[in-house]
A and B are shown apart, each in its own frame.
Chain A
Amino acid sequence: MKRQRALAAYALGALVRRRGRSVAVAAGLAFVVALFASVLFLGDALRAEVEAGARYVPDLSVQRVVAGRPALLSTDITTSVRRIPGVRSVQARVWGYLYVPPISANVTVIGASGREALVHATLVDGRAMRAGERDACVLGAVLADALGVRAGDEIALSSDVGGASSRTFVLRVVGTFRDGSALRTADLLVTSDANARALLGVAEGFATDLAVTLTTPDEARVATEKIARLVPGARVIDKLLLRRSYALTLDGRGGLLTAMLLPALAALLLLAWDRLTGLSEAERREIGVLKAIGWEVSDVLSARIWESLIVAFVGAAVGVLAAYAYVFLAEAPGLAGALYGWSALYPPLRLTPQVDAAQTLALVVGVALPFVAVGLVPAWRAATLDPDRALRGGA
């Protein structure tokens, strides 16, 4: 241990003496690690958002499709669906998109009935809506930012029915959702069921969809078939299939990006190999000096391993930190579009930092180990020469 400490201190000094080269190599490594880590972080954060969102998705969502377009459902079928074996509960939901001119964006309006769990679970600022509270709302944090409001403020929204029938509602913002739920709450406006109906133009007796909870997920296939027979034009969305689709999409895109980055890694390793197999004259002489003053081959190699390890881990650490800043502070310009897909989310999605430590460690080790290994070959060649030849720069 004492010997290794002394050799590590020597290696650190050697790196400082050759600081230009050390910084250049570490920067190259940091760049490659940052590229890969960015894809990992972004994918992990999106997966976490999807998983978090899935907790609030019903086992089955039943929509009605007319001429290929979503249409409103009659709430009369709720009772029939509830009678299907394996169905525990059915909730008729009112939700839809409302254009808000001041921010030139659509927001998602949800009637509060049945959403209490979500409201209570994720509020960070202010409070949840109370039962029967009419002129109140809870906003996604991103939407609140875009509107420039916070808990306690009031907002005015016009209903989406158009023409003379359009009404303006003044709602008090009683709370905002925390960032951790950004993917599903960023553009969300939760208000009373009556307000949601009025804003979206959904008449009593109709709903946007049905949220079906099953006694067990195994019932999904049978329940889906029965609902399809019961509701003409029904489109039934299975939560498990939805989660699997998201996971496959993210994994596929992440894998594609990673594959695209592999040439960058290969290029860096080739560059490192090229640089390191040709030890500089000064380095070869230094190894000769060390041998001449009584260092063994194993001492020289240990010192070189320490040098490579320090460069590799500093480079990798800088790369990981840069990737973290790029993804979670700068919101991954350029890369985000590739992973999100064709859809542009508005208001902008703010990802909650989510890092898989094991995966990140594997990345760091995966880059550092080959780097250390390629550095050993030329050092071994120089260290096994007679010190006199190494001093004279013998090959």
Chain B
Amino acid sequence: MTHEAAAAIAESPSDGARVLDDAPAIEARAISKRYEDGTRRREVVSEVSLVVPRGALWVLRGPSGSGKTTLLGLLGAMITPTSGEVLVCGEALSRLRDHHRTRARRRLVGFVFQELALVPGMTLTENVLLPLVPSGGATAAQRAHAAALLERFGLSAFAETRIERLSGGERQRGAVARALVNEPPVLLLDEPTAHLDAARVIDVVAMLAALRDEGRTIVATTHDPRLAESAAVDRVLDLADGRVVAG
């Protein structure tokens, strides 16, 4: 290791993860994911390798069952690969023990699920601040940051509104705000334009482009051409049967 490379290693205070400043945002090395159902084995993702540079907006495209959601989960350390490894900002998250991986993920990756995974019964602000609870709750600065995120996404008026009273678009922007509350360098979104009308899709693409332009790395899955074919997208990877077939 060169002196410069060693100097670029930053020791995380809590999770022990080493972050290389000059490493790519995401690197997948021959990752596979197999599920076993009794005697039946099903490989959902097969030997995928890719490198996502920092500050890029990538899209994983493919039909239902192509493995794009599983691949996104593997890239975000939501799912443990059966083989291969995933590095986020230079740190091999898939090799870390569960609690170290969780802490590293909390710091490095924001994740927006297709179902949004907001907690019903809680207000929008409570949902956005939820990732901060294990660290003792939000500080004043974090609350201000959350409020700023809600304002940025046009949700200030709904800050104290319960999730179930929000529209689909409002919920989705709320989910993005929650994913960003820890200010992670990587944002992963699963089908962010599903069930949105054309106008909303344009808003989402603009939002993703703006976040990318701020230096965040964004990877989204979609089978929606309105997102995949947008000029804002830097690269599209086509998936079929758990493999990258084009892009």
Residues of A within 8 A of B (CB): 2-3, 5-7, 9-10, 13, 16-17, 282, 285-286, 288-299, 384, 386-389, 391
Is A296 a contact of B137 with CB atoms below 8 Å? Answer: no
The answer to whether residues A295 and B102 also contact, given A289-B117, A387-B78 and a CB cut-off of 8 A, is yes
Is A7 a contact of B78 with CB atoms below 8 Å? Answer: no
Residues of B within 8 A of A (CB): 70, 73, 78-80, 98-99, 102-103, 105-107, 111, 113, 115, 117-122, 126, 130-131, 133-137, 178-179, 182
Q: Which chain A residue lies CB-closest to B135?
A: A3
Q: Which of A6, A286, A384, A386 contacts B136 (CB 8 A)?
A: A6
Q: A11 to chain B: closest CB distance in Å?
A: 10
Is B103 a contact of A296 with CB atoms below 8 Å? Answer: yes
**Cβ of B102: which chain A residues have Cβ within 8 Å of it?**
291, 294-297
Is B106 a contact of A294 with CB atoms below 8 Å? Answer: yes
3 closest Cβ pairs, A-B complex: A294-B106, A17-B121, A2-B136
Q: Which chain A residue lies CB-closest to B190?
A: A388
Q: Which chain B residue lies CB-closest to A387?
A: B78
The answer to whether residues A6 and B98 also contact, given A13-B122, A386-B79, A386-B80 and a CB cut-off of 8 A, is no
The answer to whether residues A295 and B119 also contact, given A386-B79, A388-B73, A388-B79 and a CB cut-off of 8 A, is no
Additional 4 contacts, C-beta under 8 A, given A6-B136, A292-B117, A293-B131? A9-B137, A17-B120, A386-B78, A386-B79
**Cβ of A13: which chain B residues have Cβ within 8 Å of it?**
121-122, 126
Is B103 a contact of A294 with CB atoms below 8 Å? Answer: yes
Q: A2 to chain B: closest CB distance in Å?
A: 4
Q: B72 to chain A: closest CB distance in Å?
A: 9
**Cβ of B78: which chain A residues have Cβ within 8 Å of it?**
292, 386-388
Is B137 a contact of A298 with CB atoms below 8 Å? Answer: no
**Cβ of A17: which chain B residues have Cβ within 8 Å of it?**
119-122
**Cβ of A3: which chain B residues have Cβ within 8 Å of it?**
134-136
Measured between alpha carbons, how far is A297 from B118 in the docked complex, in Å? 19
Q: B221 to chain A: closest CB distance in Å?
A: 13
Q: B102 to chain A: closest CB distance in Å?
A: 5
Measured between alpha carbons, how far is A17 from B99 in the docked complex, in Å? 28
Q: Which of A285, A295, A297, A384 contacts B133 (CB 8 A)?
A: A295
Is A294 a contact of B131 with CB atoms below 8 Å? Answer: yes
Measured between alpha carbons, how far is A387 from B134 in the docked complex, in Å? 16
Is B98 a contact of A293 with CB atoms below 8 Å? Answer: no
Q: A117 to chain B: closest CB distance in Å?
A: 63
Is A5 a contact of B98 with CB atoms below 8 Å? Answer: no
Measured between alpha carbons, how far is A296 from B117 in the docked complex, in Å? 17
Is A293 a contact of B99 with CB atoms below 8 Å? Answer: no
Q: A4 to chain B: closest CB distance in Å?
A: 9
Name which of B98, B120, B133 has the most chain A CB atoms within 10 A of its CB.
B133
Is A292 a contact of B111 with CB atoms below 8 Å? Answer: yes
The answer to whether residues A296 and B99 also contact, given A13-B122, A388-B79 and a CB cut-off of 8 A, is yes
Q: Which chain A residue lies CB-closest to B182?
A: A294
**Cβ of B79: which chain A residues have Cβ within 8 Å of it?**
386, 388-389
Please count the residue pairs between chain A and chain B whose beta carbons lie under 8 angstroms apart in the complex. Answer: 83
Q: Which chain B residue lies CB-closest to A299?
A: B134
**Cβ of A386: which chain B residues have Cβ within 8 Å of it?**
73, 78-80
Measured between alpha carbons, how far is A19 from B48 in the docked complex, in Å? 46
**Cβ of A290: which chain B residues have Cβ within 8 Å of it?**
130
Q: A291 to chain B: closest CB distance in Å?
A: 7
**Cβ of B120: which chain A residues have Cβ within 8 Å of it?**
17, 282
Is A391 a contact of B98 with CB atoms below 8 Å? Answer: no
Q: Which chain B residue lies CB-closest to A10?
A: B133
Q: Which chain A residue lies CB-closest to B74?
A: A388
**Cβ of A387: which chain B residues have Cβ within 8 Å of it?**
78
Is A298 a contact of B99 with CB atoms below 8 Å? Answer: yes
**Cβ of A293: which chain B residues have Cβ within 8 Å of it?**
106, 111, 117, 130-131, 178-179
Measured between alpha carbons, how far is A388 from B77 in the docked complex, in Å? 10
The answer to whether residues A5 and B136 also contact, given A17-B121, A293-B178 and a CB cut-off of 8 A, is yes
Is A7 a contact of B122 with CB atoms below 8 Å? Answer: no
Measured between alpha carbons, how far is A195 from B73 in the docked complex, in Å? 96
**Cβ of A7: which chain B residues have Cβ within 8 Å of it?**
133-134
Q: A310 to chain B: closest CB distance in Å?
A: 16
Is A391 a contact of B113 with CB atoms below 8 Å? Answer: yes
Measured between alpha carbons, how far is A288 from B130 in the docked complex, in Å? 13
Measured between alpha carbons, how far is A9 from B136 in the docked complex, in Å? 10
Q: A389 to chain B: closest CB distance in Å?
A: 8
Measured between alpha carbons, how far is A290 from B78 in the docked complex, in Å? 12
11 contacts between A and B (CB under 8 A): A3-B135, A13-B121, A289-B130, A291-B102, A294-B102, A294-B105, A295-B102, A295-B133, A298-B99, A299-B134, A384-B98
**Cβ of A388: which chain B residues have Cβ within 8 Å of it?**
70, 73, 78-79
Measured between alpha carbons, how far is A9 from B111 in the docked complex, in Å? 24
Measured between alpha carbons, how far is A17 from B119 in the docked complex, in Å? 10
**Cβ of B121: which chain A residues have Cβ within 8 Å of it?**
13, 16-17
Measured between alpha carbons, how far is A236 from B133 in the docked complex, in Å? 72
**Cβ of A389: which chain B residues have Cβ within 8 Å of it?**
79
Measured between alpha carbons, how far is A299 from B99 in the docked complex, in Å? 10
Measured between alpha carbons, how far is A289 from B113 in the docked complex, in Å? 9
Is B117 a contact of A288 with CB atoms below 8 Å? Answer: yes
**Cβ of A2: which chain B residues have Cβ within 8 Å of it?**
136-137
Measured between alpha carbons, how far is A293 from B80 in the docked complex, in Å? 16
**Cβ of B182: which chain A residues have Cβ within 8 Å of it?**
294
Measured between alpha carbons, how far is A286 from B131 in the docked complex, in Å? 13
